[in-house]
């Protein structure tokens, strides 16, 4: 287990964060971690946690905190021991970043090579993630506990700079020292190092100005002149003392035989805490393996992570650090194992004439050279497991990190490698990355909300974020708002994510695309056409027009290359920017007809499945025959309401996305048929915004398609959607249009349904006379048609209208008749609303036991996904219970009703809210 006190107090186990509780509990843990293995007296802990509080008052609270920490740490074998009127945290000091920092700094005094010493000190300083006990201790407590530690940190930093200067890295440290001098303008040793670095960088004038600024600060703040050492250095700079030049090389790594081949660390690296912790667990031996693969799509930051982490832990590998680019993706062929072995062996100071020409012999020599060394090997951009395997040391002392755009499953299966898939940055990480590149002033000016908007445009992909931020930094007149507008057009977004030609998201994706076979590349292109979908393999097969077995092979290839992701769910989707690249390739390589046919196949597959599910989900809805150009090999069926409901819950997002996609491609028939096939599901789940969007697209498509029957369905759906969002004038307009089309088509049942809907809208609008007229006309028509379903709804709505008018006995008669019809004909979708109406009516009459019975019956049908009826039932159940004096139970019902109504977005949420207020409670959701 690893602990952190340098920054936020935190703990992790095998790379996963451990929950540590509230702020004061974490502060207590931090105090114990400062002195691991030693008893900290109770009085001192109380005094530090609460300063001047009476110990007697706080002792019980301290005991409670200790007990909670014990429970949280016990599963990981960590004990807090009560001993000698105090507490002892039984952990290895090496597991605490502070004590590891102290140990590693002390150890650097034995490292002769200045470059190695600088690397070790830099790794130790990386442990500081912020001020001591950040987030749990106030400034006064941090000053008391951490003053000496901060001095140790500055001293280590200055020792690192001294080592860098000795190794000739004066250019690198100038920027670091400039920040130090700005923050501490009177710290003389830091100023000396800054002047020396500037002088060696050929910036003598700036070195002299640094001295003058330091002298002014010392005189103004303390009234003293600079010390003798700083004055002496000033004189040497004035005199152009040749002794200030870079010292002659002493042999360094060549003399010691220690290779240090890591690329330069990534400037401004942020985030990836979990991945860094997982890698560190491997380095400390907690991972149980000596090989790790880091996989992910192009631009996800695999190499940046590996290189940054390698610099952090370089000190753990005294045998050196090796790096080889295996060129698995890019121009030309991947690096052959024999060529990579040659690079590695030469880095290990093996004479070229000793390196065998045979790959097996060279691999054996490589393993022999590394047998007694502890070396970190970074193999970047690997193409396959076979390319990597000859480059793996036999020694478990070495650690090999492999990055690849492919999933190197062979290394996991046969070589015991740990697989570390790298995902997209979180919003917080992405914001920090952009803000770091911007600098404080520019980030503050842009604001967090606007930067997160840019993050969304970039799909949280690190490469895209760095390019976008770089453009704003470099192009003085370009603001975040300007770039967001530029990237708002999805079709031009990839063109906006480019700097200096080669540094482009499109270029990175192109490398991966060129490696695909012809058939797999076609799959990639067509999947790019279906935005916002997560398709199962059967749907991918429909899109392609292939047998499922063949499509699964292509899916496997794309997921292997991280160009497609299923998140372990078996439903496949692309990253947004990858998808845009796929669309670009499709528009260049596939004809418009080919693209339309592919999406049409997928739309037809979903229409067939959704229509079959809707026929079970809403047995009494009469649709019209769907015209299908690409029938599925087997007609879909659903054997239960639960199965149909589950299908809609799973595929609802794809259905909505396909309406938009089909409309965008001008697929008229597919657009309105997709909208119609999900009407009942959207209505029952109260997804009214989506219902309106899909049917607005559908009504235009049906009209252009010359299908008045389809237009009637869409107009009716729009009327219902507007009615349920209380835009009654618009609802009536669309319902009248549906009625008109029904008359023109001679469809009496559809005319009756439209008349019923019109009456309901008038009733909700408050025009009760007009409402009763239309509903009675509809009821008469339903009796003439002997249509039990429509009659049931008519009686239900008329009963609701009478309830609103205070005609209680008439309302009850109608509602009870409607419920009898619904039960007799198994009209399930009407039973719950009718039970709610009867609960409402009986509660108003003070018949609380009857109201409770009906309300419980409504809530018991919640599995039918009629969320609004469930929420209403819970409200009236609460009213009934409260009427019988069971107020506590009633409050629970109102809380649940309020939460559900809030989630579905109905204005009726004001009723449970008012009931809770009357009972002296507030909503808990």
**pLDDT at res. 107:** 84
> Is pLDDT at 900 greater than 80 in this prediction?
yes
**d(Cα 836, Cα 856) in Å, to the nearest integer?**
9
**Tokens 């509230």, located at residue:** 22
Per cent of the chain over pLDDT 90 is: 41
The full DSSP string for 512-565 is HHHTS-HHHHHHHHHHHTSTT--EEHHHHHHHHTS-HHHHHHHHHHHHHTTSSB
**pLDDT at res. 253:** 44
> Is pLDDT at 649 greater than 60 in this prediction?
yes
Q: How confident is the model at residue 785 (pLDDT cuts 50, 70, 90)?
A: confident
C-alpha distance across the termini of the chain, in Å = 36
Interval 899-911 mean pLDDT: 89
Reference 624, options 740, 539, 722, 749; nearest CA is 749
CB 533 within 8 A of CB 606: no
**pLDDT at res. 249:** 39
| Angle between the N-to-C axes of helices 114-125 and 139-166, in degrees from 0 to 180, rounded to the nearest 10 | 160
**pLDDT at res. 757:** 87
Classify residue 359 as exposed, middle or buried by CB count within 10 Å of its CB (0-12, 13-18, 19+). middle
- H helical segments located in 126-166: 139-166
Q: How confident is the model at residue 250 (pLDDT cuts 50, 70, 90)?
A: very low
Who has greater pLDDT, 173 or 708?
Answer: 708
The CB-side HSE value for 308 (13 A sphere, CA atoms) comes to 17
- Residue 503: strand pairing partners: 499
Q: Which residues contact 554 (CB under 8 A, 6 or more apart)?
A: 519, 520, 523, 540, 544, 546
Using alpha carbons only, give the angle 341, 346, 351 rounded to the nearest 5 degrees: 115
**pLDDT at res. 247:** 54
> Is pLDDT at 712 greater than 70 in this prediction?
yes
- Burial readout 689-706 (b: 16 or more C-beta within 10 A, e: otherwise): ebbbbbbbbbbbbbbebe
**Tokens 């400037």, located at residue:** 267
**pLDDT at res. 286:** 58
**pLDDT at res. 89:** 92
CB 539 within 8 A of CB 526: no
**pLDDT at res. 651:** 93
> Is pLDDT at 367 greater than 60 in this prediction?
yes
What pLDDT, in 10s, does the model give residues 577-596?
A: 899 999 999 999 999 999 99
What pLDDT, in 10s, does the model give residues 96-147?
A: 999 989 988 888 887 877 777 888 888 888 888 888 888 888 888 888 887 7
From the centroid of its chain, how far is CA 146?
A: 36
**d(Cα 399, Cα 259) in Å, to the nearest integer?**
15
Q: Max alpha carbon distance in the chain (Å)?
A: 113
From the centroid of its chain, how far is CA 184?
A: 39
Interval 75-102 mean pLDDT: 89
What pLDDT, in 10s, does the model give residues 411-464?
A: 999 999 999 999 999 999 999 899 888 887 788 888 999 999 999 999 999 888
**pLDDT at res. 184:** 86
**pLDDT at res. 829:** 80
**Tokens 């509780």, located at residue:** 21
Who has greater pLDDT, 69 or 566?
Answer: 69
Q: How confident is the model at residue 248 (pLDDT cuts 50, 70, 90)?
A: very low
- Out of 94-98, 266-270, 515-519, 778-782, pick the least confident: 266-270
Is 260 strand, coil or helix? strand
Interval 828-855 mean pLDDT: 91
**pLDDT at res. 287:** 56
CB 46 within 8 A of CB 55: yes
**pLDDT at res. 17:** 80
CB 578 within 8 A of CB 528: yes
> Is pLDDT at 254 greater than 50 in this prediction?
no
Q: How confident is the model at residue 805 (pLDDT cuts 50, 70, 90)?
A: confident
**pLDDT at res. 886:** 92
> In angstroms, what CA-CA distances link 175 with 121, 182, 184, 229, 652?
17, 11, 14, 22, 54
Is 106 strand, coil or helix? helix
CB 562 within 8 A of CB 403: no
> Is pLDDT at 810 greater than 90 in this prediction?
no
Interval 560-577 mean pLDDT: 87
Beta strand residue intervals within 474-592, DSSP E: 498-499, 503-504, 535-536, 571-572
What pLDDT, in 10s, does the model give residues 200-213?
A: 877 888 889 999 99
**pLDDT at res. 605:** 96
The CB-side HSE value for 102 (13 A sphere, CA atoms) comes to 13
Choose from 190-194, 261-265, 347-351, 864-868 the range with maximum mean pLDDT.
Answer: 190-194
**d(Cα 507, Cα 342) in Å, to the nearest integer?**
30
Interval 606-610 mean pLDDT: 96
- Out of 109-113, 212-216, 482-486, pick the least confident: 109-113
What pLDDT, in 10s, does the model give residues 8-61?
A: 898 887 767 888 888 889 999 999 999 998 999 988 888 888 876 565 667 888
Is 489 strand, coil or helix? coil
Is 50 strand, coil or helix? helix
Q: How confident is the model at residue 598 (pLDDT cuts 50, 70, 90)?
A: very high
> Is pLDDT at 887 greater than 70 in this prediction?
yes
Reference 319, options 355, 369, 284; nearest CA is 369
**pLDDT at res. 258:** 79
Report pTM: 0.60
What pLDDT, in 10s, does the model give residues 150-180?
A: 888 888 988 888 888 887 777 777 877 888 8
Who has greater pLDDT, 678 or 114?
Answer: 678
> Is pLDDT at 835 greater than 70 in this prediction?
yes
- Out of 149-153, 254-258, 741-745, pick the least confident: 254-258
Chain mean pLDDT for the chain: 88
What pLDDT, in 10s, does the model give residues 278-319?
A: 898 888 775 567 999 999 998 899 999 999 999 888 878 888
> Is pLDDT at 606 greater than 60 in this prediction?
yes
> Is pLDDT at 506 greater than 70 in this prediction?
yes
**pLDDT at res. 558:** 92
**Tokens 């250095």, located at residue:** 233
- Tell how strand 291-295 and strand 418-421 pair up: parallel
């Amino acid at each position: 287990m690893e602990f952190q006190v340098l920054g936020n107090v935190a703990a992790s186990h095998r790379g996963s964060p451990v929950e540590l509780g509230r702020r004061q509990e974490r502060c207590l843990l931090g105090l114990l971690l400062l002195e691991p293995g030693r008893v900290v007296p109770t009085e001192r802990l109380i005094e530090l946690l609460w300063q001047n509080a009476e110990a007697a008052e706080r002792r019980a609270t301290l005991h409670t905190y200790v007990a909670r920490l014990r429970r949280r740490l016990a599963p990981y074998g960590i004990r807090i021991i009560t001993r000698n009127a105090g507490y002892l945290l039984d952990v290895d000091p090496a597991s605490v970043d502070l004590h590891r920092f102290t140990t590693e700094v002390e150890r650097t005094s034995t490292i002769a090579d200045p470059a190695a010493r600088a690397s070790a000190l830099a790794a130790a300083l990386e442990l500081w993630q912020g001020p001591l006990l950040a987030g749990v201790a106030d400034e006064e407590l941090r000053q008391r506990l951490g003053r000496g530690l901060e001095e140790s940190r500055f001293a280590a930093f200055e020792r690192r700079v001294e080592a860098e200067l000795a190794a000739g890295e004066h250019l690198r440290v100038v920027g670091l020292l400039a920040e130090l001098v700005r923050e501490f303008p009177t710290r003389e040793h830091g100023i000396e190092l800054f002047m020396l670095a500037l002088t060696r960088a050929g910036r003598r004038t700036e070195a002299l100005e640094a001295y003058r600024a330091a002298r002014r600060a010392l005189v103004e703040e303390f009234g003293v002149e600079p010390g003798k050492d700083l004055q002496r250095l000033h004189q040497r700079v004035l005199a152009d003392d040749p002794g200030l030049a870079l010292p002659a090389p002493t042999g360094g790594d060549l003399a010691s035989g220690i290779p240090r081949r890591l690329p330069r660390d990534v400037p401004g690296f942020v985030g990836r805490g979990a991945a860094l912790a997982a890698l560190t667990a491997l380095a400390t031996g907690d991972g149980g393996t000596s090989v790790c693969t880091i996989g992910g799509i192009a631009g996800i930051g695999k190499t940046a992570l590996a290189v940054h982490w390698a610099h952090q832990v370089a000190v753990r590998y005294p045998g050196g650090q090796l790096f080889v680019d295996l060129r698995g993706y890019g121009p030309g062929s991947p690096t052959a194992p024999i060529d990579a072995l040659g690079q590695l062996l030469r880095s290990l100071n093996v004479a070229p004439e000793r390196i065998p020409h045979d790959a097996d012999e060279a691999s054996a020599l490589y393993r022999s050279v590394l047998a007694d060394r502890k070396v970190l090997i970074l193999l970047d951009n690997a193409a396959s497991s076979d390319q990597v395997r000859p480059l793996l040391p036999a020694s478990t002392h070495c650690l090999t990190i492999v990055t690849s755009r492919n999933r190197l499953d062979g290394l996991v299966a046969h070589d015991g490698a740990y697989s570390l898939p790298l995902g997209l940055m979180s919003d917080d990480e992405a914001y920090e990355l952009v803000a770091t590149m911007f600098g404080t002033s520019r980030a503050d000016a842009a604001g967090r909300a606007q930067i997160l908007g840019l993050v969304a445009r970039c799909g949280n992909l690190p490469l895209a974020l760095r390019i976008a931020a770089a453009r704003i930094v470099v192009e003085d007149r370009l603001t975040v708002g300007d770039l967001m507008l530029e990237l708002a057009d999805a079709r031009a977004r990839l063109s906006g994510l480019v700097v200096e030609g080669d540094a482009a998201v499109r270029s990175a994706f192109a490398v991966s695309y060129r490696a695909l076979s012809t058939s797999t590349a076609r799959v990639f292109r067509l999947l790019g056409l279906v935005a916002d979908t997560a398709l199962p393999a059967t749907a991918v097969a429909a899109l392609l027009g292939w047998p499922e077995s063949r499509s699964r092979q292509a899916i496997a290839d794309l997921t292997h290359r991280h160009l497609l992701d299923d998140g372990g769910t078996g439903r496949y989707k692309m990253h947004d920017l990858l998808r845009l690249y796929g669309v670009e390739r499709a528009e260049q390589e596939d004809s418009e007809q080919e693209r339309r046919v592919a999406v049409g196949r997928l739309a037809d597959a979903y229409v067939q499945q959704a229509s079959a599910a809707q026929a079970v989900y809403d047995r009494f809805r009469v649709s019209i025959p769907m015209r299908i150009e690409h029938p599925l090999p087997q007609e879909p069926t659903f054997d239960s309401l639960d199965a149909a409901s589950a299908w809609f819950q799973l595929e609802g997002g794809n259905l909505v996305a396909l309406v938009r996609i089909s409309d965008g491609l001008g697929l008229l028939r597919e657009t309105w048929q997709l909208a119609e096939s999900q009407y009942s599901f959207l209505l029952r789940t109260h997804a009214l915004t989506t219902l309106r969007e899909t049917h607005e697209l559908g009504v235009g498509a049906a009209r252009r398609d010359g299908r008045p029957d389809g237009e009637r369905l869409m107009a009716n759906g729009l009327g219902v959607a507007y009615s349920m969002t209380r835009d009654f004038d618009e609802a009536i307009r669309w319902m009248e249009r549906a009625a008109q089309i029904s008359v023109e088509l001679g469809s009496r049942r559809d005319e009756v349904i439209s008349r019923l809907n019109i009456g309901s809208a008038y009733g909700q609008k408050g025009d009760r006379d007009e409402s009763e007229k239309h509903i009675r006309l509809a009821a008469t028509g339903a009796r003439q048609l002997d249509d039990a379903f429509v009659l049931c709804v008519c009686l239900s709505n008329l009963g609701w209208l009478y309830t609103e008018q205070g005609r209680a006995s008439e309302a009850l008669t109608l509602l009870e008749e409607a419920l009898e019809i619904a039960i007799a004909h198994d009209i399930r979708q009407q039973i719950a609303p009718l039970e709610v109406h009867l609960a409402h009516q009986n509660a108003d009459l003070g018949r609380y036991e009857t109201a409770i019975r009906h309300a419980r019956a409504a809530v018991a049908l919640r599995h039918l996904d009629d969320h609004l009826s469930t929420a209403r039932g819970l409200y009236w159940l609460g009213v009934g219970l409260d009427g019988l004096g069971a107020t506590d139970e009633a409050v629970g019902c109102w809380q649940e009703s309020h939460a559900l109504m809030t989630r579905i977005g109905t204005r009726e949420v004001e009723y449970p809210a008012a009931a809770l207020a009357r009972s002296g409670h507030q909503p808990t959701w």
